[in-house]
Amino acid sequence: MSNRLYSVQMLPGDSDLLHGQLLYVTSARYDTDWNSIPHTHYFTELFFVRKGKGYFQMDSETFDVQTDDLILISPNIAHTEHSSSSEPLEYIVLGVEGLTFTHPDGSPMTYGRVNCRNDHSSIRFYLDIMVREMQQNKDYRDLLCQNLLNVILIYLLRHEKLQITITPQFKASKEISAVKEYIDQYFKTSLNLDILADAAHLNKYYMVHHFTQTYGISPIHYLLQKRLEESKFLLRSTDYSISQIAEITGFSSISYFSQRFKGSIGMTPQQYRKQLTQSESAIFHGA
């Protein structure tokens, strides 16, 4: 029997990776209600194309994107994506606070474009786990996803000519934080922009702009995200009917609920529940 002992030694600067705080994981696909509006974030975004083709608009520059492209978007850079209608975009986005990517000489990087085809299986594998963890909402999911982010960052540092620079963490204003907390508390009720603005005593357009800039998602899309997360939990853990779940989670109708659910998850609520049931049955019989 042969043994090899590999010692572990952290190098100066290695701990910088730990300063990146994962804010969110988004999985989306092109739909007919797609709104391609240039926007900015105070944090860094990693935009991975799982499938399809389209193009990215970054300030005054435009470039094509396709399957396995990873776009690194620096803070406060106006950008938006446009999808091909024949090969719709499907993508995963990570919002990361506390770090930004720079060139090897330390100069600022407006954006980076990484071809992940050689590391396709690794990068996609970790991103898919992150999405699955968020969807299943199991214990320690955030901790697991935070550590997977660090793994992805290491892959990028190994294979790309870039560096990671620590940036000060941003704190949302009390008013904008209050809007998010209001949605978190009342997302099951009937909400719209006017109600949210009145509750926070803010101008509606000011609120939308600063909420989106702060959290990387509009108030209405955040509201939709909360409702969909709750609906997935109810589909997994209860025997409520689809119409009951639509009503409980604040959707105006079962048809609208099904439409939004399929647009986000890629399957209807019925199909989602059936898939979970089949997976649990396979695990049970396999044991």
Among residues 166, 184, 204, the one where a domain terminates is 166
Distance of CA 283 to the CA centre of its chain: 29
- Report yes or no on 83 lying in a domain: yes
Shared-domain flag, residues 72 and 207 = no
Question: Are 18 and 142 in the same domain?
Answer: yes
Per-residue pLDDT, averaged over 141-159, amounts to 90
- More confident site: 13 or 66: 66
Overall number of domains in the chain: 2
pLDDT digits (tens, 9 = 90+) for 229-259: 899 889 988 899 999 999 999 999 999 999 9
Q: What is the pLDDT of residue 283?
A: 45
Q: Which of 38-42, 221-225, 232-236, 271-275 bottoms out in mean pLDDT, i.e. has the lowest?
A: 38-42
Which DSSP string corresponds to 91-123? Answer: EEEEEEESEEEE-TTS-B-SEEEEE-STTHHHH
What's the pLDDT score for residue 128?
Answer: 93
In a domain, residue 9? The reply is: no
Is 127 within 8 Å of 48 (Cβ atoms)? yes
Residues 29, 67, single domain; the answer is yes
260 lies in the same domain as 223: yes
What is the percent of the chain where pLDDT is above 70? 89
Does residue 36 fall inside a structural domain? yes
77 and 107 fall within a common domain: yes
The domain spanning residue 252 has which CATH number? 1.10.10.60
Q: Are residues 36 and 158 in the same domain?
A: yes
Mean pLDDT, residues 13-33? 77
Residue 185, domain member (yes or no): yes
Domain boundary among 113, 145, 166: 166
For residues 203, 76, 65 and 165, what is the CA-based torsion angle, rounded to 10 degrees?
-140
**Structural domain span for residue 263:** 174-276
| Contact between residue 258 and residue 242 where contact means Cβ atoms under 8 Å apart | yes
Q: Among 117, 141, 166, identify where a domain stops.
A: 166
54-113: per-residue pLDDT in tens?
999 887 789 999 999 999 999 888 888 889 888 999 999 999 988 889 888 888 888 998
Mean pLDDT, the chain, integer: 85
- The verdict on residue 18 lying in a domain is yes
pTM above 0.75, yes or no: no
Model confidence at 284, pLDDT cuts 50, 70, 90, reads very low
Is 224 inside any structural domain?
yes
Which long-range CB contacts under 8 A does 30-36 form with residues at least 24 apart?
30/54, 30/83, 30/88, 30/89, 30/90, 31/263, 33/263, 34/83, 36/80, 36/81, 36/82
- Please check whether residues 92 and 191 belong to one and the same domain: no
Tell whether 123 and 218 lie within a shared domain. Answer: no
Quick one: pLDDT at residue 13?
64
- Taking only the tens place, the pLDDT of each residue in 190-214 is 999 999 999 988 899 989 988 887 8
Residue 282 within any structural domain of the chain: no
Q: Are residues 161 and 179 in the same domain?
A: no
Residue 270 lies in a domain: yes
Which domain CATH number covers 41? 2.60.120.280
Whether residues 94 and 190 fall in one domain: no
Kindly state whether residues 20 and 97 are assigned to the same domain: yes
- Looking at residue 61, its pLDDT comes to 87
Are 105 and 190 in a shared domain?
A: no
State whether residue 58 is helix, strand or coil: strand
